[in-house]
Structure 1
Amino acid sequence: MSATDESSRGAAPPGSGPTPYEEMQRSPEFKALRSRWRRYIFTMSGLFLAWFLVYVLLADFAPDVVNTKLGDTNMTVGLLLGLLQFVSTFAIAVAYARYAEKNLDPTAAELRARVEEKL
């Protein structure tokens, strides 16, 4: 079987109706799952982008603020904000994993099981 041949799993001959995958994509459950996923991803991406832009704009337009030393150390506000970028990235990854496990994975598993039954 070549890469261009239709697979026996999920492929339907022309004119015989939608495949199980196409049926699943049209289902209200799948559309709700995609909507939840998109809402979370776009919200978190927007928040992180805004946080990053604040950091960059402060570094560019408020150098006195970012060069302010914290106490008697060599740590500056800019360095602290830069380190917090890494912390926030890790926090977003952990938050997404928890969100997906609770809100996305159960529905995705149901949809996958339903499609696999039809194959």
Structure 2
Amino acid sequence: MTEVARPLPRASVPPVPLTGMGADARHAAGPDYSAIVDSEAFTALRKRFRRYVFPMTALFLAWYLTYVLLAAYAPGFMGVRLTGSVTIGLVLGVLQFVSTIAITWGYVRYARRAIDPQVAQIRQEAGVDRP
């Protein structure tokens, strides 16, 4: 005979009033995420993030698609030996890894310089203590 899983009883948590609270009570209730999302600073942060991510994504996808298309439709070109058993296809394949690392490294630098300070400011204004 199999047992039927029964739902666990719900914990009773008293509601936290959101009006007329002091700073400690607001902190306990958590940040106002809808106000953060609607803020000018958050909109600027998203724009700054997209300004790097979208072009880099498009560039990398174009580069990757070019590699795949060359491998599929130009095997003679990809098989040209540069030296010994090193072919153009092998070099371009290794460059895929190199470009991925370079884009990641570039994003980390960009984020530290342009995004992280804005995130810290938004977190501070929202009263979030964690980094």
Question: Does the alignment reach a TM-score above 0.5?
Answer: yes
Structure 2 counterpart of 1:50: 62
Structure 2 counterpart of 1:100: 111
TM-score (norm 1): 0.81
Structure 1 counterpart of 2:95: 84
Residue among 90, 105, 127 paired with 1:116 = 127
Give the paired residue count. Answer: 107
Deviation string 1:35-83 (CA, Å, 9 cap, x unpaired) is 1112211111110000000000001111111000003x10000000000
* Structure 2 alignment gaps of length 5 or more: 1-9, 17-27
Give 1:105 shift.
0.5
Q: Taking structure 1 as reference, are residues 39 and 5 closer, same or farther at Cα in structure 2, changes over 3 Å only?
A: farther
* Structure 1 alignment gaps of length 5 or more: 11-18
Give 1:21 shift.
2.1
- The alignment yields a C-alpha RMSD, in angstroms, of 2.1
SS in 2 for 1:70: strand
TM-score (norm 2): 0.74
SS in 1 for 2:29: coil
Larger Rg over CA atoms: 2
Give 1:9 shift.
2.5
Correspondence 1:37 to 2:57: no
